Structure 1
Amino acid sequence: MTEFEFNEPELLDDDMRMVRAQVRRYVEEVIVPQADAWEQAGEIPRKAFRDFGELGFLGMRHPVEYGGGGLGAMSSVILGEELSRCTFGGVASAFTVHSDMSIGHIAHRGTHEQKQRYLPAACAGEKIGAVCVTEAHAGSDVAGIKTRAVRTAEGWLINGSKTYITNGVYGDIYIIAARTDPAAKGSRGISLFIVEKGNPGLKVARKFDKHGWRASDTAELFLDELQVPEDALLGEEGKGFYYIMSTFQNERLVAGAMSVGQMAKGIELTLDYVKQRQAFGKSLWEQPVVRNKLAWLASKTFACRTMVYSCAQMIDEGKDIVREVSMVKAFVCESLQEVLHGCLQLHGGTGYITGTPIERMVRDARILTIGGGATEVMLEEVAKRM
């Protein structure tokens, strides 16, 4: 196999280099041999989460005292980048939604009791997390959610629905956004709640059959008279929108990292193919047009990687990066489409056959311009800050 690697930037310390080596080894030795079966089944075995958790990869950003690693944003970038090299986007999404987009809410905003109750099991992969924000008429427009939570003598009663929820079928810990102040307009009056699997008011309406990311489970959920105790409230009442927006910044950074990992792996697979494929009396690699195309795609990948790493460094320095991370989400995820389509083109008919890595990667890549904030929404976020 032809290896395609960039030089490691100096901003990566020895811990991050070790994380990369360990995740890559696990991906190559454990995930890749099994992932096709997971893709066919439409789910990832719980044992895979436990095994990944035992190695410390599911809690790298979370506090050490609750089973985490206490690392910064760069660890999320390395995790997303290396997981995506497995060529199964659903695997990368299921793990990162758990570690960075759902359980992170508890790590950042939970009480000591909530952290103690949920984080150790989540970091160990014994409990799987899902974040439930999107609704049928409120995707990138988070302020438009209609799910309601009403205070009762026992705590809160939640009614509504959520859709496109990764880990929604097999999850154990659900972070649910609901409107707690019906009089509040737009982004105000939204709160977050922790809901556990088995609550009779939380029902999986259906498991989606998706175009890509087929190894991860994605669900539509009904919240029907969902009763939760008072201490299920996560953070302050009415601050949910701001919590979601804060976590979105990390989600968008991870989407950029996943894109970079897919681009690099796509180029690696394509280099291997064009050096073997013969046409017109020579290998495709010997054709200048092919070499130039791959050089261009590699250059774009390097530019995207530099953006992602720079943004992670700014997060770890405590800077406000809403504009920059929106640029990353828009530019890098759109660049992913160009790079992988270019790779598929160079594979010719082989790239169009279901089951080949490059065909699967092209399908899996499409969601990254939609999920976590559509490209058009991201560009508006940039424009508002110009």
Structure 2
Amino acid sequence: MTSDSAAYSLLTEEEREFQRVVRQFMEREVRPIVADMERAGRPPQELLKKMGEQGILGCFAPEEYGGGGGSLMTRAIVAEETARVDAGLDATLFVSISLISRHLLKRGTEEQKQRYLVPLLAGEASASICLTEPHGGSDALSPKTRAVKDGDHWVINGSKTFITNAPISDVFMVFARTSGENRRAKGGTAFLVDRDTPGLTIGQPFDKLSLRSSPTAEVFLDNVRVPESQVFGEEGQGFYYMLEGLDYERVFEGASNTGIAQACLDLAVDYATDRQVFGEHLASYQMIQDKIARIATGVEMSRVMFYHLIRTLERGEDCTRAASVLKLYSSEAAVEASREAVQILGGYGLMEEYPAARLYRDAKHHEIGAGTSEIMKIIIARETLKAAGKAK
């Protein structure tokens, strides 16, 4: 980001300095091992611990839990800078830190915070959210996973799929219906289930197109018994917590998309100004300039909007429509940026030794994950009609 970017003014000087520190860490510690992480299908535990020690994971959390006490923007900076180098690592951190840690900070008991939050912020543990099921992801209020009370315990049965971090997680936040009707928020409960709980098993890691350095698998729950102390928040309110976090999740999707698109811009500019064709640098051709201009525009618009919405979240304001607009626009901008980067590199863009192919794969994930583009359009239309007083 240059100082003439409209987004530059949305950061404090302290946040800009933090951004420089995080960027240096990513270049020094992460970029050299991206290929290794892609092959292994997971980030090394040593890297997560190093990020914890450097204060990168807990930058936004209170100091009493090992955090840095910074703004939510600092967490957004980490997300963007991580995705700029490896979107798979960002996905792993997003679930453990942006989702689980945030939930624990907001509603966890003190015992749950000490047991789960502190290790997550230190990079000593990972976590998963178990929401999506094999029969569908967008209809999250109609899970087949059920939990029933049995004395002072709950018994959970069901299965979850596409669960980020499942192969490496130490704790799983499982959403199950405990009462009420399908497609209704009331009656869902969230449970914190330890990895070694009898009846909980993890499937083989998926062989994915995108985000290969972030492990994903199925989770099976067969008569899993958890004590009352493992209920997260209030009984019957779990789906409300999930819905409440959707705006937050989609804004952070914008952070990842911006990071991916910026990586595409960096790659395209470097290649186009170095590569010569017919005696001229590739960047001198207007059709290449058109591609670079379009990528740069997508990066700028995505970043400005996502920074603005981070500030909106910091103020505690709702931004359902705007978050969906950001998620839709930034994911499409990242996909276009990655496609054009591949095109600019030509044959080299198809080679795995260059990052263009990985960026192309990773960008596509964000048109599907955290709500498909089609779902985003439905939300945007619904909220626009509602604001105009035209909702049916």
Q: Is the 8 A contact 2:142 2:183 kept in 1?
A: no
- 2:60 is aligned with what amino acid? R
- 2:297 is aligned with what amino acid? S
Q: Is the 8 A contact 1:133 1:162 kept in 2?
A: yes
Q: Is the 8 A contact 1:98 1:129 kept in 2?
A: yes
The one-character-per-residue Cα deviations of 1:325-384 (angstroms, maximum 9, x if unpaired) are 111111111111111111111111110112310111101111101111111111211211
CA shift, 1:155, in A, is: 1.2
Aligned partner of 1:190 among 188, 191, 208: 188
Could you tell me how far apart the structure 2 residues matched to 1:134 and 1:21 are?
A: 36
CA shift, 1:40, in A, is: 0.7
Could you tell me how far apart the structure 2 residues matched to 1:57 and 1:214 are?
A: 22
The one-character-per-residue Cα deviations of 1:153-178 (angstroms, maximum 9, x if unpaired) are 14111000011111101111211101
- Corresponding residue of 1:271: 269
Could you tell me how far apart the structure 2 residues matched to 1:140 and 1:329 are?
A: 15
- Corresponding residue of 1:166: 164
- Corresponding residue of 1:96: 94
Task: Return 156-165 or 295-304, whichever deviates more.
Answer: 295-304
Could you tell me how far apart the structure 1 residues matched to 2:242 and 2:149 are?
A: 21
Please list every run of 5 or more consecutive structure 2 residues that lacks an aligned counterpart in the other structure. Answer: 385-392
Tell me, what secondary structure is at the counterpart of 1:142? coil
Could you tell me how far apart the structure 2 residues matched to 1:356 and 1:4 are?
A: 25
Q: Is the 8 A contact 2:261 2:298 kept in 1?
A: no
Could you tell me how far apart the structure 1 residues matched to 2:278 and 2:284 are?
A: 10
Q: Is the 8 A contact 1:142 1:187 kept in 2?
A: no
Could you tell me how far apart the structure 2 residues matched to 1:349 and 1:184 are?
A: 50
Could you tell me how far apart the structure 2 residues matched to 1:96 and 1:311 are?
A: 17
| Match status 1:53 vs 2:52 | yes
- Corresponding residue of 1:251: 249
- Corresponding residue of 2:64: 65
- 2:115 is aligned with what amino acid? R
Cα gap change, 1:123 to 1:129, in 2 (>3 Å): same
Could you tell me how far apart the structure 1 residues matched to 2:304 and 2:122 are?
A: 31
- 2:64 is aligned with what amino acid? E
Tell me, what secondary structure is at the counterpart of 2:141? helix
- Corresponding residue of 1:363: 361
CA shift, 1:69, in A, is: 2.7
CA shift, 1:219, in A, is: 0.8
- 1:317 is aligned with what amino acid? R
Matches within 5 A, 1:281-360: 281-360=279-358
| Match status 1:41 vs 2:37 | no
Matches within 5 A, 1:63-142: 63-86=62-85, 88-142=86-140
Tell me, what secondary structure is at the counterpart of 2:207? coil
Task: Return 119-128 or 72-81, whichever deviates more.
Answer: 72-81
Tell me, what secondary structure is at the counterpart of 1:130? strand
Instruction: Give the TM-score, by structure 1 length.
Output: 0.95
- 1:45 is aligned with what amino acid? P
Q: Is the 8 A contact 1:138 1:144 kept in 2?
A: no
- Corresponding residue of 1:385: 383
Tell me, what secondary structure is at the counterpart of 1:219? strand
Task: Return 64-73 or 195-204, whichever deviates more.
Answer: 64-73
Tell me, what secondary structure is at the counterpart of 1:299? helix
Tell me, what secondary structure is at the counterpart of 1:17? helix
Task: Return 276-285 or 179-188, whichever deviates more.
Answer: 179-188
CA shift, 1:183, in A, is: 4.8
Please list every run of 5 or more consecutive structure 1 residues that lacks an aligned counterpart in the other structure. Answer: none
Q: Is the 8 A contact 1:58 1:98 kept in 2?
A: no
Q: Is the 8 A contact 1:168 1:217 kept in 2?
A: yes
Whose relative contact order is higher, 1 or 2, with alpha carbons under 8 Å and at least 6 apart?
1
| Match status 1:216 vs 2:205 | no
CA shift, 1:90, in A, is: 1.1
Q: Is the 8 A contact 2:139 2:183 kept in 1?
A: no
The one-character-per-residue Cα deviations of 1:169-220 (angstroms, maximum 9, x if unpaired) are 1111211101111556532211111111211221012210111211111010
Tell me, what secondary structure is at the counterpart of 1:145? coil
Could you tell me how far apart the structure 2 residues matched to 1:140 and 1:179 are?
A: 16
Could you tell me how far apart the structure 2 residues matched to 1:184 and 1:92 are?
A: 32
- 2:266 is aligned with what amino acid? E
CA shift, 1:279, in A, is: 1.4
Aligned partner of 1:150 among 148, 151, 155: 148
Could you tell me how far apart the structure 2 residues matched to 1:10 and 1:35 are?
A: 31
- Corresponding residue of 2:390: none
Q: Is the 8 A contact 2:156 2:224 kept in 1?
A: yes
Could you tell me how far apart the structure 2 residues matched to 1:22 and 1:140 are?
A: 37
| Match status 1:204 vs 2:175 | no
Q: Is the 8 A contact 2:100 2:128 kept in 1?
A: yes
- 1:337 is aligned with what amino acid? V
The one-character-per-residue Cα deviations of 1:262-293 (angstroms, maximum 9, x if unpaired) are 11111111111111212122111111221232
CA shift, 1:6, in A, is: 5.9
Q: Is the 8 A contact 1:4 1:267 kept in 2?
A: no
Tell me, what secondary structure is at the counterpart of 1:258? helix
The alignment yields a C-alpha RMSD, in angstroms, of 1.6
Q: Is the 8 A contact 1:102 1:174 kept in 2?
A: no
Tell me, what secondary structure is at the counterpart of 2:8? coil
Task: Return 273-282 or 256-265, whichever deviates more.
Answer: 273-282
Tell me, what secondary structure is at the counterpart of 1:144? coil
Q: Is the 8 A contact 2:10 2:308 kept in 1?
A: no
CA shift, 1:4, in A, is: 7.4
CA shift, 1:73, in A, is: 2.8
Could you tell me how far apart the structure 2 residues matched to 1:340 and 1:285 are?
A: 17
Tell me, what secondary structure is at the counterpart of 1:216? coil
Instruction: Give the TM-score, by structure 2 length.
Output: 0.94
Q: Is the 8 A contact 1:6 1:302 kept in 2?
A: no
Q: Percent identity?
A: 36
Query: Size of the alignment, in residue pairs?
Result: 383
